[in-house]
A and B are shown apart, each in its own frame.
Chain A
């Protein structure tokens, strides 16, 4: 029996058991969400979903960067890779970073993780001449590196400085996160994990559970319910880009 067959049996079995579990706890809602997330491998991402994050900065310690570290390990950049030895610090890729925001008038400081905000109207997608910078139907913004010519116009257009250009040959990539010289890359909301029905690495790594991942279009999801009942903000909301990543307590 080949690996494929095993895999498809495994998937079918999981799907059935999840459906049974779902039926058993109907009304619970939460389990239904996870069924929706366990998308079969042969099914395309759908505009019925919109993946997003809700980040509670009040839980985010200024000296903690577990989410960033998890991203580095998952996608093989920074501390997660032996590459980029030639690149200067300002040339090295950073998919995610901790930003400290300080109010000039009051001196109050907030610490928060910053990455691609997965805009519904992403400027990087508008400006890309080849369609390499793209938004999937489920709202995830990413770079199709097969089409990227390395013009860096998306980096000029992004208001969040979410994108990095690769300045040298790479050798130490992760199987699930291909990246290489002469192309632009950024947070892809761990599209590889999301397609398996898992959370992005940063959300799982946060010791304070400050990062909540979910489907913004599913009214029963945790994230949608919290967004409906609690205040949250978009960074540079004035640009009206309709972000998939929202913050609390900034």
Chain B
């Protein structure tokens, strides 16, 4: 029985798109001692192919729980998550590993590079797990690193790199297999403003180039401006699910605040941020959002 959802998809255009992730009646309850904490009440969500979807929420809103369950890291208390034909909670470890190898890339907040390996080896890891030969994965890793602007740092270990560089290695690693879906959990949480912009530009750029689906989790509304669509979570429920009107120009708004819980509808908070972003954006970098978005769908 479907539960009461927060919002339906607001735009008709989206119905033409191929659904890649489908979340049905998702519920997650943690038991802490005798007390039950509801992390996710009842979430219904459809994410489409080629979409850059941002899940926005404060800490404790359940956004990370949702992402963890989407990526198969946690089992829901109730509900279904479909990626393609697979119902994620029902997969065993082996099937999950296969799915991750083929379809899923993950970017972490704390980069999570293996300290003993060089940048190139780190990027090659997912390929190694797939059983790709060393020569091939080195080549792919090199291409990817050049793509993220680290062509000259391939032999460096993570400890010899700055945070931004490390995250770029992390991005290269997530994208090296050309997965259909990339999950990014607060990818810029540990970075300063300038690096955040660099990293977001690279990530979104690659997604657009390969028509990948990106699920971006953040508490930062200005990061959300990079997305096509912004889903806002409060206390484990979707309170708004809107098409982002300002995706023409990915902009990072310095000092933007997350919507305070219960303060005002999340959608409005976003719009405010969008407006201010638009005012600052430079005209020559402005592109038609529809053209770009539709271009992704056609392929």
- B is bound to A: no
